[in-house]
Copies of this chain bind each other. A is one copy, B any other.
Amino acid sequence: MTHRSPSPSPLGPIHHVGYVVADLDAAIARLAQLASATVTVREVMDEQGVEAAMCATDGGLIELITPLDPEGAIARFMEKRGEGFHHVAFAVPDAAAALDALAATGAELIDSAPRRGLGGHMVAFIHPRSALGVLTEVVQDDHHDGR
């Protein structure tokens, strides 16, 4: 992707798509088989009660998330909806500025301020109600290139 000027809207390029999975190792292996995916970062995230892996496919990123804490939000999500799609994340140069801009469009913020996400990126979520029914994440990523 070539360099471009910052987007005038809150959300930049699609950064990754997040899937909730029951078995992280099995899901990584299946995604490797389907889409040549390789893990770029894998972390236990205690505050979220999950283990997550970012998987680079041949042109895109898929984040796989598995619940560790049976009382956590991801465990409850999986119990209710099963494995599958969880969120779409958009790259932004400044997550705090993006949250302000999103709030100005009437978006309902789940995180009132950015917090540390997978791989050390600052991230924040907005509610599906204000984003076409889709749980939507902003990821501060200076590379701003979808990786």
Contact = CB atoms under 8 A, between A and B. Distances in A.
Interface of A: 1, 4, 7-14, 17, 19-21, 27, 30-36, 57-60, 62, 64, 82-85, 88, 90-91, 102, 105, 107, 128, 131-134, 136, 145-146
A13 B58 contact: yes
A132 B21 contact: yes
A20 B128 CA distance: 13
Given A13-B57, A57-B13, A84 B36 contact: no
Contacts of A1: 1, 59
B59 A13 contact: yes
A9 B27 contact: no
A84 B130 CA distance: 11
A11 B8 CA distance: 32
A11 B35 contact: yes
Given A1-B1, A17-B17, A58-B4, A84 B133 contact: yes
